[in-house]
Amino acid sequence: MPWKISFDEQTRIVETTYTGLIGDAELREVALATLVVGREHSTGLYLGDCLDLEHAGSLFNVYDLVRFFESLPVERTIKEAILLPAAPNASNDLKFYETAALNRGYNVRVFNERAAAVRWLLEK
C-alpha cells in the first residue's frame, strides 16, 4: 500500500503520506479512507504529504476525484494542504487538483514546505 493515514491529536490534523506510484483506482480509496479518519476524529483539517509521490493518476482521474467528493457528504469548510513532490508530473497533477477543487468550492492549497502547510491549516 503506497499510502498511510495518521492523526495528530495535538493539531487535530489527519495526515495521509503517499509514496511511489498511486493508481487511478487507489485515488478514490485513499480519499475515502482519509475522510473516514477525519470524521472519526471530528476534524476537517487534512494534510497530504506527497513529497515521495511519483505519480498521482491521470489528469482525468485527478479531476474526477474532485467530482467524486461532490457525491459524498464532504463539507466545503474542510481544509486540505498538499505538500508537493519533487517529481514534475506528480507535482503538476496536484496543482491541477488544487485548481479543480478550488473551482468547485473546496479549500485546497499546495505547498512546498511542511511548516507553511501546517500553519495555513491551523489558521482560523
- Domain span at residue 34 reads 3-122
- How large a percentage of the chain has pLDDT more than 70? 95
| Stated length of the chain | 124
Give percent helix, percent strand, percent coil of the chain, each to the nearest 5: 45, 30, 25
Phi first, then psi: what are they for 73, rounded to 5°? -80, 65
Is residue 59's pLDDT more than 70? no
C-alpha cell at position 112: 512546498
What global pTM score does this model have?
A: 0.92
- pLDDT of residue 57 exceeding 70, the answer is no
Q: If we measure between CA atoms, which residue out of 5, 2, 43 comes closest to residue 23?
A: 2
64: domain CATH number is 3.30.750
pLDDT the model gives residue 12: 98
For the chain, what is the mean pLDDT? 89
Report helix, strand or coil for 57. Answer: coil
Q: Which helix (H) or strand (E) holds 109?
A: strand 107-111
For residue 43, which phi and psi values (nearest 5 degrees)?
A: -130, 155
Q: For residue 119, how many other CB atoms are within 10 A of its CB?
A: 12
Q: What mean pLDDT comes out for the span 69-86?
A: 88
Q: Given this model, what pLDDT does residue 102 score? A: 94
Number of domains present in the structure of the chain: 1
Confidence of residue 91 (pLDDT cuts 50, 70, 90): confident
What does the pLDDT average to over 65-80? 84
DSSP type of residue 2: -
Give the residue, 123 or 55, on which the prediction is more confident.
Answer: 123
